[in-house]
Each structure stands twice: as C-alpha cells, then as structure tokens.
Structure 1
Amino acid sequence: MAKVDISYLSLFLALSLVLVALTISSKEKLGLTKDIVVSVVRTIVQLTVVGYLLYYIFDVDHIFLTLTMVLMIVFNASRQANKRNPNRNKRFFQSFLAIFLATGLTLTVLVLSGAIQFLPSQLIPITGMIASNSMVAIGLCYREMNSLFRDQRQQVMEKLALGAPVKLASASIVRQSIRTAMQPTIDSAKTVGLVSLPGMMSGLIFAGVNPIFAIKYQIMVMFMLLSATSLGAVIAAYFAYRNYFNDRAQLDFEEEKL
C-alpha cells in the first residue's frame, strides 16, 4: 500500500487555490472575503488543536474525556445551528436539545447493537458526523421556516382569526421546513456511490479492510445520518415554530435580514 504524505509545499499550493474563491468573492462583490479568510485560519488552528487533542484522548481512553469531547461537539454544533436561525426569539436550548437527542439516541442504538464500541476512536468521529449533519439540517429548517412565515404571514393570521390553534395554523410551514431540512441528506443517500464516493468506505478499503466490511460500515453510516437528521429536524421544527407566536397565540414576527 502506497504511503501518503502531504508535504508543506502541497498544503501551500492547495491553500493558493483559495485565492480563486477570494477572487470570485471580490469580483462579484459577494461580501464573503472576510468569512473565507476567517474560515481558512480557523480550519488550520482548529484541526491542529483538535488533532493533537484527539491523539491524547484516543491514547488515554478514559470515559470522562470521551463524553466531554462528545458534549463539546454537540454544544458547538448547537451553537452554530442556533446562529443560523434568523428569528429574533430563537432559543439556544432548543437547538441543543434537538442535536443532543438526535445524536444521543443514534449513538445509543449503535453502541447497544454492537455496530460501534464505546471507544473514543469510534465514538468521537461518529458523533462528529451525526452532529455536523444534524447542524446543517436544523440550520436549513430554521431558515426555511423564517422564509415561510414571512411569505405566508397573511395566511397564518387568517387561520388564527378563524379560530385555528397555533399548531394548526403553522402545520404546513412546519412540514415544509422539515422536508427542506431532510432533502440534502436524502439526495446524498440516493446518489452515494454514483455521484459521491464515501470517504469512510474508500478510506477503509484503502487501508486494506475487507470491502464487504467497508460497504456494510458505510451503509450503517448512511442509515445513521438519515435517522439523525430527521430526528433533529423534527425536534427543532416543533420547538422553533412556537417562537413566532406570543403568549396570546398572536403572530409575533418581524422581518429580519437573513
């Protein structure tokens, strides 16, 4: 098996490709130049710190450190998902609870079924995959919900005026928000192996693992992500829609910049 070694020159040349994104942002006046630069710096710093931290955690193999790292991943994913919510009445604990429950339930099933072991080298990477996908789905759910409440404000107010409860008046918006949140994961599952080649499966095969094992592992991962994103989106949506109403069941929504 060929040895893979990325030189610093290769990293520098790869970094130079970011100039393409910076040039496009500047030329098209997208206003993303600062975000791109910050993302590059954070990528380097965060991956370096976390890489050495994981090396230590994997070596120590202590349950407290493992669970602490899992909670850190869930917390940061929740914070980022909450940032993507344009609603001024958003609540952080709603995002945290959605990702925590989706991640916790999925991990519990995987551990109890024997699909993965309670080891930091398995638990932490899987947690990262679950939480990151849930974060993206919940962020999409929040943005879609905000857009729908803005576009369908009059319809919602009419339903309320006719005596419909808040849940019924928001039902179509909640359903559409959940669908939008789940769609990227569903599309990914439809095209996996045809359009995208899964990194985990390819990495296992590259490492010399039996292809059958690698395929089964990747199938498990796709099932896991479908489950987690759907759970996270549903929980987040049924929390979030209530934030658009006040205590008197009146629509409390101000148009905000997305």
Structure 2
Amino acid sequence: MRSSSLISVTPLLPVALLALVVLGALVARLGGLGHGRAVVTACLRAALQLGAVSAVIATVVALPPAVAGFVLLMYGVATFTAGRRIARNRGWWWAGVPIAIGTGPVLALLLACGVISTQGIVIIPVAGILLGGCLTATTLAGRRAVDELVQRRGEVEAALALGFRPRDAALEICRPAAAQALVPALDQTRTVGLVTLPGAFVGMLLGGASPIEAGIVQLVVLVALLAAEAVATVVTIELAVRGHLDGGSPG
C-alpha cells in the first residue's frame, strides 16, 4: 500500500478512522455536550469534501481562471459559514466583508512581493489558510460582540446617557470581549516550535525541504495569518457596533 512518512495507508486505516469518529461522538453525547450527531456528520462531510476538493484541485491548478473561481468558491463558503453563526437575519452576507478585507490585502502583498508563487498549486492553499483564519476570527469576534451588546444593553444605554456616541458606547462594551478572537492565533504564533509543529512546517519537511526552508515557510504563514485575522477582527467589531450584525449598536 502507498504510504508517506507521516501517515501509512493500510487496510486498517478505515477501521481507525471509524473508531475515532465513534469515540468522538460517544464522548460528546455521554458528556452532555450536545454534539454527538454533529461529530459524525462533520467527519462524513470532511471525508466527502476532501475527496471532491482533491479531485477538483488536480484539475484546476493549471488554469488561472479556474484557480480564481475556486478561491471565490472558498470565500463564498467562508462567508456563509461565518454569516449564519453571527447574523441570524438576512444580513449574513456582512460576514464576507471582514473575511475579504482580512484575506485580500495580505494575499495581494505576498504575491506582489514575490513571497509566494503565482502558480495555482500555491495560491489555493495559501488563500485557503488565510480564509480559514479570517472565518474563525470573524465568527468568534462577531459572536462575542453580538452577545455582549445584547446581554449588556443596559450598560450601553448608560454610556449613552453619559454623553457617549452610539458607536463609542457600543465599542466600550463589546470590544474587550470580541478582541479575544485573536487569542488562538496569538497562542499558535507564540508557541510554534515549542508546543506544536504546524501543518505547513511538517508538509515542507515531508516534501523534502530542509528544516530552515520549512521554518521560513511556516513563519510567513503564521505572520500573514495573524495580520489577516487582526484586520478581520477589527472590521467585524466595527460592523457589530454599527448595527449590521444582530445585537448591534442601539443608536
């Protein structure tokens, strides 16, 4: 059977995967987390989607229009996923704003400086990493901002009574909590090499790159990701306090 130095593809691989899915679902159910079925469906979707994506990428990487279309598809899915988490009304598409503003300039800078290649096989995974990071940051920041503005509406109104403008009053209440959306990216960057070896680093090593080359690639990915997520978080908070997301500014 074909294998790599990290994962061996053996006849027992499906058995191991099935056992892990069952374990995750049982723990979630018996532990009262309420996500037993979601664990199963998420794993099934991951298997189907990765299979389909692998086939599609193999086809589109050599065609620039197809690469652009695939990146736009990823962006659309990220927007919809974040939007339904933070805006339960028709304004879900606002989630696409922080994701685009966070991902677009960072990706453009990397391309303009020649840091990454213009080949589709490079652009697609880098764009996917940035979009995924901005999706997470937007979702976390949006949900925290919305929850704070709803639960602490009385404090917002008190700030308004003291003479604060609606935007400033809302910012005072929701920004500290929403800013926690950056904590995962900060922790990942701070502890890289000490706690974990992220995917880009491991992938480069498995591909035959030297540890130095792998380290440089991983550094670029982490710094770019942190910058993109910082932008996405700030924009998401701004949208929340302006009332574009559920629970926005009372003004």
Give matches, 1:174-185, under 5 Å: 174-185=174-185
Quick one: distance in 2 between partners of 1:91 and 1:218?
36
Give matches, 1:93-108, under 5 Å: 93-108=93-108
Matched, 1:38 2:37: no
How far off its partner does 1:30 sit?
A: 2.5
Quick one: distance in 2 between partners of 1:115 and 1:237?
30
Give the alignment partner of residue 28 of structure 2, picking from 25, 29, 40: 25
Q: Which residue of 2 aligns with 1:255?
A: none
CA separation of 1:251 and 1:93: change in aligned 2, threshold 3 A: same
3-state SS, counterpart of residue 116 of structure 1? coil
Q: Which residue of 1 aligns with 2:73?
A: 72
Q: 1:161-201: per-residue Cα shift (whole Å, max 9, x none)?
A: 33321111112234214421111100111111111111211
Query: Which aligned runs of 4 or more in structure 1 are off by greater than 4 angstroms?
Result: 87-90
Quick one: distance in 2 between partners of 1:75 and 1:209?
33
Quick one: distance in 2 between partners of 1:64 and 1:222?
28
Quick one: distance in 2 between partners of 1:245 and 1:68?
28
Q: Structure 2: give runs of 5+ residues left out of the alignment.
A: none
3-state SS, counterpart of residue 190 of structure 2? helix
Count of residues in Structure 1 that have an aligned counterpart in Structure 2: 246
Quick check: 206-215 or 69-78, which moved more? 206-215
Q: Which residue of 2 aligns with 1:147?
A: 147
Q: Which residue of 1 aligns with 2:137?
A: 137
Q: Which residue of 1 aligns with 2:226?
A: 226
Quick one: distance in 2 between partners of 1:206 and 1:245?
43
Quick one: distance in 2 between partners of 1:177 and 1:251?
18
Quick one: distance in 2 between partners of 1:7 and 1:37?
22
Q: Which residue of 2 aligns with 1:256?
A: none
Give matches, 1:219-258, under 5 Å: 219-243=219-243, 251=250
**Contact kept? 1:66, 1:120, Cα under 8 Å:** yes
**Contact kept? 2:79, 2:99, Cα under 8 Å:** yes
Quick one: distance in 2 between partners of 1:198 and 1:26?
30
Quick one: distance in 2 between partners of 1:250 and 1:172?
11
Letter of the 1:35 partner, please give it. A
Matched, 1:170 2:170: yes
Quick one: distance in 2 between partners of 1:137 and 1:250?
20
Percent pairwise identity: 26
Q: 1:39-74: per-residue Cα shift (whole Å, max 9, x none)?
A: 12111111111110011112xx11110110111111
3-state SS, counterpart of residue 17 of structure 1? helix
Letter of the 2:80 partner, please give it. R
How far off its partner does 1:25 sit?
A: 2.3
Q: Which residue of 2 aligns with 1:52?
A: 55
Letter of the 2:206 partner, please give it. F
Letter of the 2:60 partner, please give it. I
Q: Structure 1: give runs of 5+ residues left out of the alignment.
A: 253-258
Quick one: distance in 2 between partners of 1:189 and 1:69?
28
CA separation of 1:165 and 1:90: change in aligned 2, threshold 3 A: farther
Give the alignment partner of residue 15 of structure 1, picking from 10, 15, 18: 18
Quick one: distance in 1 between partners of 2:11 and 2:75?
32
**Contact kept? 1:110, 1:116, Cα under 8 Å:** yes
**Contact kept? 2:241, 2:249, Cα under 8 Å:** no
